[in-house]
């Protein structure tokens, strides 16, 4: 009996001798990392890893961060759901992050809510997503945020007749409605819209029909993973020769993949939250660190910076709580998190909506020093998700 006490006492003393804050924070990350999604998925992952490498020293003493990364293999909500269940029940993650796709985010949200685990959306961009769980914050963007100013801009350029072509799922519907609102409020008129199946390999039939109708401007939204397939389809149709202007949101021109899209992409005007070509000092440092880490030919794109900013938000929670937090503490920090100096410019989470407030840039693809770049030429400062402003929450 006495001996047992001594041994137990010894064990307790050993425990007490460990740093008081010895803590591992596990972040479960569900991303699409296969096939056409492997590049954007890898961007998010690289952004997260780069932030961790750069900010290891900022963690409280004894605190470790563990990323547990899972591949949901694309817009597959059932897979995202199963992986999230496992991350919560088996891996006991303290936070969730990820979701390239809206349907996957929708599958993950009820699980985060039930388990009271904070969930940082790293890409999925349908406006309503942050309304579906009190434990969600979004560090990416909404299609309403990017497509509405683009519609306004297109009308300001004198385009009168507009057309939209969007992927046939939730963010596409947001993109379609947002562009149309901006364009018609700017004095233009929408003359048609088409919805295209997610994951199409060939968009020529849709685009050909639009070309025949001859609008002044066509707005295209496809998810970032479909950008190369869409640009291949655009390439054969000579919209420029037909004097039809194509515009898009940043999803069509991710900076890394821009390099392989060819001449067809030159001159394309898009709206977006981030360009690797931006000359903000924070961005210059970010791009240099990215190249140092991933190679001279590597470029971060908007998904990469979203991964980096997501980790910054997670680190804020960890730093302030020394790695031990409950859901209310985590959400209080995440809801008011901001970075005045992100590579994309000043960003902040809107505490009312848990969605991000950020600059929207209008950019044009140009050759800059031998590579293709999204050159920003106009800034709409500090845009909140417009959809939430038009659709106030019913109490």
The residues binding ligand PHB (CB under 6 A) are 100-102, 123-126, 171, 223-224, 251
Q: How far is the CB of 170 from ligand PHB (least distance, A)?
A: 7
Nearer to ligand PHB, 224 or 265 (CB): 224
Q: How far is the CB of 193 from ligand PHB (least distance, A)?
A: 18
**CA distances to 45, 98, 122 from 41, in Å:** 6, 9, 10
Nearer to ligand PHB, 126 or 133 (CB): 126
b/e sequence 50-87, b meaning 16+ C-beta within 10 Å: bbbebbeeebeeebebebbbbbbbbbbbebbbebbeeb
Q: How far is the CB of 143 from ligand PHB (least distance, A)?
A: 7
Nearest to 359 by CA among 372, 346, 375: 346
Nearer to ligand PHB, 59 or 269 (CB): 269
Nearer to ligand PHB, 102 or 283 (CB): 102
Q: How far is the CB of 32 from ligand PHB (least distance, A)?
A: 9
Nearer to ligand PHB, 170 or 316 (CB): 170
Decide: residue 301, CB within 10 A, 0-12 exposed, 13-18 middle, 19+ buried. buried
Nearer to ligand PHB, 302 or 315 (CB): 302
Report helix, strand or coil for 151: helix
Q: How far is the CB of 224 from ligand PHB (least distance, A)?
A: 4
Strands (E), 58-134: 63-71, 95-98, 119-121
Which two tokens mark 320? Answer: 């302030």
Q: Are strands 356-368 and 345-349 parallel, antiparallel or unpaired?
A: antiparallel
Q: How far is the CB of 179 from ligand PHB (least distance, A)?
A: 14
User: Distance between CA 179 and CA 182 in Å, rounded?
Assistant: 5
Tokens 């199963």 belong to 82
Residue number with the smallest Cβ distance to ligand PHB: 223
| Contact status, residue 167 vs residue 226, Cβ threshold 8 Å | yes
Decide: residue 369, CB within 10 A, 0-12 exposed, 13-18 middle, 19+ buried. exposed
Q: How far is the CB of 223 from ligand PHB (least distance, A)?
A: 3
Q: How far is the CB of 126 from ligand PHB (least distance, A)?
A: 5
Report helix, strand or coil for 379: strand
């Amino acid at each position: 009996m006495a001996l047992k006490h001594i041994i137990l006492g010894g064990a307790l003393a050993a425990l007490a001798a460990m740093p008081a804050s010895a803590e591992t924070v596990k972040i479960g990350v569900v991303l699409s990392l296969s096939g056409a999604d492997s590049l954007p998925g890898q961007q998010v992952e690289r952004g997260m890893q780069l932030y961790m490498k750069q900010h290891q020293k900022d963690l409280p003493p004894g605190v470790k961060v563990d990323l547990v990364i899972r591949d949901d293999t694309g817009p597959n909500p059932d897979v995202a759901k199963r992986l999230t269940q496992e991350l919560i029940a088996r891996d006991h993650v303290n936070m969730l992050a990820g979701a390239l796709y809206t349907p996957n985010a929708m599958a993950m949200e009820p699980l985060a809510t039930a388990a009271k685990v904070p969930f940082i959306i790293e890409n999925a961009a349908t406006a309503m997503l942050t309304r579906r769980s009190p434990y969600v914050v979004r560090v990416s963007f909404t299609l309403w945020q990017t497509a509405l100013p683009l519609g306004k801009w297109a009308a300001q350029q004198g385009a009168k007749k507009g057309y939209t072509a969007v992927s046939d799922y939730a963010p596409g519907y947001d993109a379609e409605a947002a562009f149309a609102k901006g364009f018609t409020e700017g004095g233009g008129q929408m003359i048609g819209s088409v919805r295209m199946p997610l994951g199409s390999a060939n968009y020529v039939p849709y685009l050909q029909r639009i070309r025949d109708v001859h609008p002044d401007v066509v707005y295209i939204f496809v998810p970032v993973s479909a950008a190369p397939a869409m640009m291949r389809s655009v390439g054969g149709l000579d919209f420029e020769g037909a004097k039809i202007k194509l515009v898009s949101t940043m999803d069509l021109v991710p900076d890394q993949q821009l390099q392989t899209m060819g001449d067809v992409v030159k001159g394309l005007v898009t709206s977006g939250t981030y360009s690797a070509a931006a000359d903000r000092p924070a961005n210059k440092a970010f791009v240099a660190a990215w190249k140092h880490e991933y190679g001279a030919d590597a470029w971060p794109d908007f998904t990469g910076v979203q991964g980096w900013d997501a980790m910054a938000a997670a680190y804020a929670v960890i730093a302030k709580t020394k790695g031990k937090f409950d859901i209310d503490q985590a959400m209080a920090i995440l809801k008011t998190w901001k970075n005045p100096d992100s590579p994309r410019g000043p960003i902040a989470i809107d505490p009312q909506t848990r969605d991000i407030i950020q600059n929207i840039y209008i950019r044009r693809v140009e050759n800059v020093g031998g590579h293709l770049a999204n050159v920003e030429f106009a800034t709409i400062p500090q845009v909140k998700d417009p959809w939430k402003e038009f659709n106030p929450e019913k109490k």
